[in-house]
Amino acid sequence: MHADYTGQGFDQLLDVIDKIKNRPDDRWIILSAWNPSDLNLMALPPCHMFAQFYVANGELSCQMYQRSADIGLGVPFNVASYALLTYMIAQVCGLTPGEFIHIIGDAHVYKTHIMPLKEQLQKLPKPFPILKINPERKDIDSFVAADFELIGYNPHQKLDMKMAV
């Protein structure tokens, strides 16, 4: 296995899809962003680092482990990203999306995020939007932005939070 990212390495995503389609009971349906040999080359090690997929009763579920979680800014994007990935994989495998389970090692709130997060907690939740994905897409590499539509997305007003550096 190569780790030089020139297209000669191991395609984890295609391996996940192959296992889901051909060995759905496999306990090794895993994506890992943790590459110890490259940690010293990274500005920051991956926060969302490990995902395991499960197939049961025609549903695909994803359990993701996140070693470090910026509750104000990072977690919302991580949840949306892995939930969307689960929907996409489910579609190309002919399954229904199931659960997204999120495990966090070190959850933290930066001081500058405390007030905006307190404000967010005072807001009533709005109904979830419906995600529509182009049903003709059957290959994970064929998706384009126009294949996704959120119906009924009515967000609260933006909260101002700066990324901690």
Among residues 24, 30, 35, 47, which one is catalytic? Answer: 47
Total Cβ atoms within 10 A of residue 106: 10
CA distance 105 to 94: 32
Closest CA to 102 of 84, 83, 127: 83
Active site residue 93: no
Name the helix (H) or strand (E) containing 33.
none
Angle value at C-alpha 116, between 110 and 117, nearest 5 degrees: 70
Looking at the DSSP bridge assignments, the partners of residue 103 are 65
Please enumerate in sequence order all residues whose Cβ is within 8 A of that of 28, keeping only pairs 6 or more positions apart, or say none: 19
Annotated catalytic residues are 47
